[in-house]
């Protein structure tokens, strides 16, 4: 959120979010910039045709795919990779999201952000990436962060408001293109 606030203080029209350990390869940056012209948010996705992961064990694959399925199903999300952090946002999106309602970390932050994006009626496009296991550093992911995401999804699903667009008209579905 601090990075988003920093970007908003400048005149940036697009704000990119990515892992800094080379799990998100920079070769995909031109695709983000190409696709953001026609969408409000672009996600480099592991879970659309052509996407995937490299050097992940079966448990990590299971937790990631299961967590995505769970969040997508419980919250009615239209994106395939709602826990992926390789995203490009239009300035308007970052400016409009009520950040005080997204006080989460890790997976929960990513799920909560895309939930707000969809709830506000912004358009989202996904394109396939291959997510590589980190080249440097260690994961900050913990059991606590996974539990936080799980309970965020449960709590939000139980109290879910209808989805609105920016003109306060109820919408049934946000159109997602691949």
Give, rounded to a whole angstrom, the gap between the first and last alpha carbons of the chain. Answer: 27
Q: pTM of the prediction?
A: 0.84
Average pLDDT, the chain: 85
Q: pLDDT digit string (tens) for 71-120?
A: 999 999 999 999 999 999 999 999 999 887 777 878 889 999 999 999 89
d(CA 118, CA 87): 14
Residue 126 clears pLDDT 90, i.e. is over it: yes
Helix, strand or coil, per DSSP, at residue 14: strand
Residue 34 clears pLDDT 70, i.e. is over it: yes
Residue 177 clears pLDDT 60, i.e. is over it: no
Who's near 117: CB < 8 A, 6+ residues apart?
Answer: 40, 41, 93, 97, 124
CA proximity to 74, closest of 26, 108, 50: 108
Mean pLDDT, residues 34-38 taken together: 97
DSSP states along 94-155:
HHHS-GGG----HHHHHHHHHHHHHHTT--EEEEE-EEEPPSSS-----HHHHHHHHHHHHH
Q: Is 37 exposed, middle or buried (0-12, 13-18, 19+ CB in 10 A)?
A: exposed
pLDDT for the residue 162: 52
Q: pLDDT digit string (tens) for 148-176?
A: 888 889 988 888 655 544 555 444 443 33
CA proximity to 15, closest of 116, 113, 95: 95
8-state DSSP, 12: -
**Residue 133 binned pLDDT confidence (cut-offs 50, 70, 90):** confident
Phi, then psi, of 94 in degrees rounded to 5: -60, -40
- The answer to whether residues 23 and 131 touch, using CB atoms and an 8 Å cutoff, is yes
- The answer to whether residues 89 and 14 touch, using CB atoms and an 8 Å cutoff, is yes
Q: Is 30 exposed, middle or buried (0-12, 13-18, 19+ CB in 10 A)?
A: exposed
């Amino acid at each position: 959120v601090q990075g988003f606030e920093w970007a908003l203080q400048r005149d940036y029209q697009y704000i990119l979010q990515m892992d800094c350990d080379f799990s998100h390869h920079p070769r995909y940056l031109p695709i983000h910039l190409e696709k953001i012209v026609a969408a409000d948010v672009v996600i480099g996705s592991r879970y659309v045709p052509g996407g995937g992961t490299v050097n992940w064990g079966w448990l990590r694959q299971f937790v990631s795919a299961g967590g995505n399925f769970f969040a997508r199903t419980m919250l009615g999300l239209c994106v395939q990779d709602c826990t992926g952090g390789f995203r490009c946002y239009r300035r308007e999106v970052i400016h409009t999201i009520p950040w005080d309602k997204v006080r989460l970390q890790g997976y929960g932050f990513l799920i909560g952000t895309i939930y707000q994006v969809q709830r506000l009626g912004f358009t989202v496009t996904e394109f396939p990436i291959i997510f590589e296991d980190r080249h440097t550093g260690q994961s900050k992911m913990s059991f606590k962060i996974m539990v936080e995401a799980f309970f965020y999804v449960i709590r939000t699903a139980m109290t879910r408001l209808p989805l609105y667009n920016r003109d306060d008209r109820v919408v049934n579905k946000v159109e997602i293109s691949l």
